[in-house]
Structure 1
């Protein structure tokens, strides 16, 4: 969090301005796509905060503008941030720095921030950009805890060999402090040419082959000038795109072992003394593998006493696989005569526990140079192996559910494809997306969402065979691999089971929660012969399962691909529809039953594209919703409709209430209230002549959050209507809690009135309830004289539909409004 200069503004407090109005369109576009939170501070107070800044921190524009920019910084970090801001203004430092920030919900997050001095509205200011690095900090602390509790040194270097990360064991071995070692090059402690060359060759080999190099040794020179012998393993370090960025490795100081081995060759007495004082276990066996000599470390590793070990065979501590591994190593040493170093194997201790050990073995000869057995040094590397397994697991598995992640699943799928190809078998990929999961996250929080994901993951595991694989791709997306598919009914049966098990309720944080699943299925080799094609086509099929109402499964087909291509074309062209002026509005009148006057009008979005032709709302709206384009499009609709209403009045036409539909994304957008006020202010339309229509399912998406939003909108004087009433999740009793003015009876209940008895009963009940709640009741979709007469008899307030007027362009609507003669019998 950057701070501006210490100059304080004088004069009376002013009303907080909207920071967005002070930025150019280009600046807004850049900031919106920056991917980081942006703010500007002037005289120590916020004058601008971006939408992403608000989203990350939880604070709104109105809560921050004009306030002290230090107020939400963790108290212990404020001085650090203040000093960094001063350096920035003095142009002394622009380096990124970290600090802690207290979010709106009182959670503490870690921030990585960069600041720079700017001129804003003619005055000095500080521009800051920051991102939330909380998850990274948590992971770093976890890694640090693991790495600092092992004896071996863990290190990471860049491609030039400069240290970028290491644990305390590395500092201890090299004799440098952490501050001295950070950024130091490996050539500084490999001063002899032979070791420097050896290290360079090792790094080069790993870089060229991409394969890890296990257990090679080299000399290092400590800070105090002492020489130490190090053994280690090195692997390539890559970024998220797979590009090499450096190396990482595990090392251990084996100087004592090397010295011990040298001493063994010089003196038997000295050699025995040293053996009992080293950490590694030393052993000697005869040619049959029976122990003839060892030190106490071997007793400690095996869990046996000296009496139990003497004469015992090494095979007693191994299973068949590892006994064979040791036999082959001994046999190689016997045949070739050269020692073998760095081979590891698994032993079984006396108490039954298993430990990983690493060994170096050489041939033992008598004075006549005749082989009489073997000698070697072993060390317990169980903890190191565990860390390697954990690091590998973290790289290939989802941290929350423990399921294979996208990387691991892709590898498993590739192996399965090769197997299916060899055996001429089919396999299936099921792409699963959870429906309504976002409701749990929004209403109960991410902890509840995480619990639900773990519950669903467990259910999926329980359904599958041992040979099948379920993975998590991220968010609420899962993926399943089914091998050896004999017929499609086998896959369909499993899909039915997945739908059923997903639908079962789960008690999360004391609440009963339900989700459903949309499943897309691709079959090898019919729908693709490689991993990428199968996953892509399963994803496409999943999307159309959602389009079919969710809670179902769809097999990929050519027809689905064709629809996907059509949808992609719609999405591509829709992104430019606004700037190309391809969108326009038609208007459908609302008629008052009592007076016969036109009292309202609904703005309806239309799109005519030069390539696609006329695109229907049922094609347009879902794409706009999913891509997020519905927010800018909805903003344009509101402004255009308000301006058109005022234009009609300026022509001398009577004022009518303009109805505009809101989407769920708009309703959840933090800028909605500001957009409404801007549309009214720019057009000059009176608030009571604007009515915003929402569906009841939108409100029931999260009533706790939505009702306060609607209340704030209504407080501006704008009217609110529930559209498509009766088709959503709310009950008649719940409607009284909604801050609305109007109920619109869905067209599906108006159809075939009064002949359809069910529709008749529902419509009568809605009209009566609306009257009792003092709401205006509008019947939409009226198409026949019989429907109009029935609604008039039920004292419905207004009607809308083709029977009176179809949606028409602004000029035709002006003519309709100008020529219409109000009469109770008018239709």
Structure 2
């Protein structure tokens, strides 16, 4: 038996570390030799499998895929060379150690040809075996690291370029070719300056190399040029490689193309600072420019003008033609505003149809008036889109630094107040801010807050204006008119607070309060045995836009125990002529409750008779502006005659409102207009006065 057991010399720490995790397959047909070899290996390696012959060894290799194989040379069935040949065919990187008592050179040459890494002569010496195993493990680890490095080099998504000490390119990876467009063969031996974009200065590169020489590395963003001449941004990492002695061996550059990231950053910056629809600066960018403009104006004692521009009746375009047409209108308006100002000025869209214009470096604030006139003239020009001719006007409010405010917030508020003043005086004009506007705004804010509390405090009341038969004076119906018993200002009429209620949205709860109070009053009169007549209630477009308005009316009628036939709901001509499909649905739902529908203020708008025929309207109320001059103006008389004739042909009832004199009453009597309302017969009175009239009528 050619075996001799020796005690192995202690391994140093690095070698023990190499062997500790090693997985070894031992193949030996001699049981005693296998046991002895296993005793040596098992004390040092991580895992050990044992096989008694070559066939079992091949099976265990395929099952466990060990890191290293130690095999006897001479074995029955499959010898060590046959086993090694099969293992190398299946796993060329697995190291193999052959143990043998033969020193035949031809056998050793065959082993070398197969790829066997080491052989150990028998009788085995423990140290020789462990030295061979350690050497194979160390070589395998280095080869694995090299393979990993090569794999990373080839597979990296980042470009990698290696240069020598003379800064000549010695190797590049496939990602280099993909990013730069240069094939490997074209750049080997050349200087990397062939990639330079020309954007960075010579001083930039001097500082970069100074950092590399001092610190051994450099990181940063840089622009380079592709083979086709295209410039692109990259994130570059440049490292110096030193020998153990500290001599420079190579420079390794790694970079990634950050074009997409830069584009994404630019897109994010754009979305954060510009309006996506109009390409105008948004609030964020505008506020920054506004602050900078004020700082400059303070330093050089100049004026700055802020203009609020709001389109008049833009909502009508959106409601009738759709948001796509509305968006196109906004884009064309934005371009016109841009053309009205200088390059150093700023036009911004604040949202919806609101724009602001910042005029900087003005000698006097009066210069803003010239720009405002230019803007109004530009907006007045028709806009054409997909066969539509759109006419739009604007209301402009102007506040100037330093007279109207010293900070952006104050100037914005004051320009907004001036813009609302422009709307209130007729639209399509511009107004400068004045202190009186601020006082008026404070009054409106105070009134609005008081109005919100007034509902809870039951400060509102209803008065009723009779609509009577002409000429008998018999009460045919009533119009409910809201009054506010303000605790400080006394009795307020609707024109003193209803416009503010419409602006603030309070008109919706107020309208439902009026409807409920009127229903409750009808129920109370009915309980007293009085003869009931319908009550007309004025509503606005806001109610038509509420999807559950008809349901709310139905609930009030049911809760108060009053039938719908005792109510007539009045809408202005302007409210019903737009978004007719929506109005048709809402009015139809109301008609199903039994209520009547009245078209109020008829004759002063742009009536569309085709739309009027489709709407479920019962009554037309002739506007009081026509009634007041009907006996003095032939034109008004002709219009009134036409309205009465048209209404009769459509089987609609006609009511003349605002009848103040006997002549006016006679005019309508002669034309068979049997129902009038106005101070000629009675002013609006409270419920107790109406009870007297209803009692007389019964």
Specify the SS of the correspondent of 1:717.
coil
Does structure 1 residue 648 correspond to structure 2 residue 525? yes
Change (3 A) 1:523 1:806: same
Identify the residue that residue 804 of structure 1 maps to in structure 2.
Answer: 681
Q: Deviations over 1:210-230 (max 9, x none)?
A: xxxxxxxxxxxxxxxxxxxxx
For 2:188 and 2:387, how far apart are their aligned partners in 1? 58
Distance 1:682 1:383 in 2: 64
Q: Which residue of 2 aligns with 1:408?
A: 285
Q: Measure the CA separation in 2 of the matches of 1:348 and 1:404.
A: 33
| Kept in 2: contact 1:339–1:360 (CA 8 A) | no
Is the aligned partner of 1:547 residue 2:433? no
* Aligned partners of 1:751 and 1:759 also within 8 Å: no
Q: Which runs of 5+ in 2 are unaligned?
A: 1-141
Inter-CA distance 810–275: structure 2 relative to 1 (3 Å threshold): closer
Task: Give me the whole-angstrom Cα distance separating, in 2, the residues matched to 1:636 and 1:368.
Answer: 94
Q: Structure 2 matches for 1:224-239, cutoff 5 A?
A: none
Which stretch shows the higher mean deviation, 632-641 or 399-408?
Answer: 399-408
SS at match of 1:343: strand
Per the TM alignment, residue 595 of structure 1 is displaced from its structure 2 partner at its CA by 3.3
1:388 and 2:265 matched: yes
Q: Could you tell me how far 1:381 is from its partner in structure 2?
A: 1.9
Distance 2:168 2:310 in 1: 60
Aligned-pair CA distance for 1:719:
1.5
Give, in whole Å, the separation in 1 of the partners of 2:558 and 2:186: 95
Are residues 1:327 and 2:205 paired? yes
In structure 2, what is the Cα distance between the partners aligned to 1:351 and 1:619?
74
- Structure 1 residues 580-729: aligned runs within 5 Å: 580-729=457-606
Q: Distance in 2 between matches of 1:534 and 1:371?
A: 65
Question: Counterpart of 1:96?
Answer: none
Alignment RMSD (CA, Å) = 3.8
Q: Is 1:745 aligned to 2:622, yes or no? A: yes
Residues 233-254 of structure 1: CA deviation (Å, up to 9, x unaligned) = xxxxxxxxxxxxxxxxxxxxxx
Kindly indicate whether residue 159 of structure 2 is the aligned counterpart of residue 280 of structure 1: yes
Aligned equivalent of 1:578: 455
Q: 2 CA distance for matches of 1:526 and 1:339?
A: 61
Q: TM-score, normalised by structure 2?
A: 0.70
Check conservation: 1:282, 1:298, Cα contact below 8 A: yes
TM-fit CA distance, 1:503:
4.7
Higher helix share: 2
Deviation at 1:617, TM superposition (A): 1.7
- One of 199, 218, 222 as aligned partner of 1:345: 222
Residue 568 of structure 1: aligned partner = 445
The equivalent residue for 2:81 is none
Q: Counterparts of 2:151 and 2:322 in 1: how far apart (Å)?
A: 63
Q: Which residue of 2 aligns with 1:171?
A: none
User: Where does the alignment leave 5 or more consecutive residues of structure 1 unmatched?
Assistant: 1-262, 822-827
**Residues 337 and 363 of structure 1 are in contact (CA less than 8 Å); yes or no, is this contact kept in structure 2?**
no
Query: Counterpart in 2 of 1:172?
Result: none
| CA drift at 1:376 | 4.3
- Mapped contact 1:401–1:457 kept (Cα < 8 A): yes
Cα separation, partners in 2 of 1:274 and 1:719, compared to 1, 3 Å: closer
CA contact (8 A) 1:333 1:363 kept: no
CA distance in 2, matches of 1:697, 1:811: 34
Residues 406, 612 of structure 1: alpha-carbon distance in 2 compared, 3 angstrom cutoff = farther
Higher CA-based Rg: 2
Rounded to whole Å, the distance in 2 between the matches of 1:616 and 1:348 is 76
* Contact kept? 1:291, 1:314, Cα under 8 Å: no
Partners of 1:670 and 1:403 lie apart in 2 by 35
C-alpha separation in 2, matches of 1:319 and 1:518: 52
In structure 2, what is the Cα distance between the partners aligned to 1:737 and 1:675? 24
Deviation at 1:706, TM superposition (A): 0.8
Distance in 1 between residues matched to 2:487 and 2:393, nearest whole Å: 39
Question: What's the offset of the Cα at 1:677?
Answer: 2.5
In 2, are the aligned partners of 1:338 and 1:362 still within 8 Å (CA)? no
Residues 246-265 of structure 1 show CA distances to partners (whole Å, capped at 9, x for unaligned) of: xxxxxxxxxxxxxxxxx9xx
The 3-state SS of whatever aligns with 1:591 is strand
1:309-361 Cα shifts (integer Å, max 9, x gaps): 966684983345x2256235336427x82245332122344534220022344
Query: Given the alignment of the two structures, is residue 318 of structure 1 paired with residue 197 of structure 2, yes or no?
Result: yes
Structure 1 residues 517, 284: CA separation in 2 closer, same or farther (over 3 Å shift)?
A: farther
Shift, 1:399, TM fit: 3.7
Matched residue, 1:217 = none
- Give the 3-state SS of the residue equivalent to 1:522 in structure 2: strand
Kept in 2: contact 1:286–1:292 (CA 8 A): no
Counterpart CA distance in 1 for 2:404 and 2:198 is 45
Q: Secondary structure at the match of 2:577?
A: helix
TM-score, normalised to structure 1's length? 0.60
Q: Does 1:794 align with 2:671?
A: yes
| Structure-to-structure mapping, 1:110-129, within 5 angstroms | none
SS at match of 2:219: strand
Q: Which moved more, 1:747-756 or 1:526-535?
A: 526-535
Deviation (angstroms), 1:572? 0.8
Native 8 Å contact 2:161 2:169 kept in 1: no
> Within 1, Cα distance between the matches of 2:411 and 2:170?
60
Alignment match, 1:379: 256
Q: Tell whether the 8 Å contact from 1:333 to 1:361 is kept in structure 2 after alignment.
A: no
Could you report, residue by residue, the CA deviation over 1:545-592 in whole angstroms, capped at 9, with x for unpaired residues? 333343433332212211111111111111111110111111111221
C-alpha distance 764-551 of structure 1, shift in aligned 2 (>3 A): same
> 1:642, CA displacement in angstroms?
2.6
Q: Deviations over 1:504-545 (max 9, x none)?
A: 555566655554433333223333322322333333333333
SS across alignment from 1:576: helix
User: Using the alignment, how far apart are the partners of 2:233 and 2:522 within structure 1?
Assistant: 80
Q: Alpha carbons of 1:536 and 1:368: their partners in 2 closer, same or farther (altered >3 Å)?
A: same
Which structure 2 residues correspond to residues 496-507 of structure 1 after superposition, within 5 A?
A: 496-506=373-383
Q: Which moved more, 1:400-409 or 1:756-765?
A: 400-409
Q: Which residue is equivalent to 1:203?
A: none
Q: Is the 8 A contact 1:330 1:361 kept in 2?
A: no
Aligned residue for 2:435?
558
Partner of 2:308: 431
SS across alignment from 1:599: strand
Deviates more, 1:567-576 or 1:810-819: 810-819
Residues in 2 aligned to 1:291 and 1:421: alpha-carbon distance in whole angstroms? 58
Contact 1:448–1:508 under 8 Å retained in 2: yes
Local SS of the residue matching 1:550: coil
> Residue 517 in 1 paired to residue 371 in 2?
no
Aligned to 1:49: none
**Residues 677 and 381 of structure 1, relative CA distance in 2, 3 Å threshold:** closer
Residue 776 (structure 1) aligns with: 653
Q: Deviations over 1:433-464 (max 9, x none)?
A: 33433334444544444444444434444444
Instruction: Give, in whole Å, the separation in 2 of the partners of 1:418 and 1:349.
Output: 44
CA–CA distance in 2 between the matches of 1:645 and 1:518? 44
Between 297-306 and 453-462, report the one with greater CA deviation.
297-306
Please state how far the C-alpha of 1:274 moved relative to its aligned partner. Answer: 8.4
Pairing of 1:182-261 with structure 2 (within 5 A): none
SS of residue paired to 1:337: helix
Q: What is the deviation of 1:647?
A: 3.0
Change (3 A) 1:309 1:454: farther
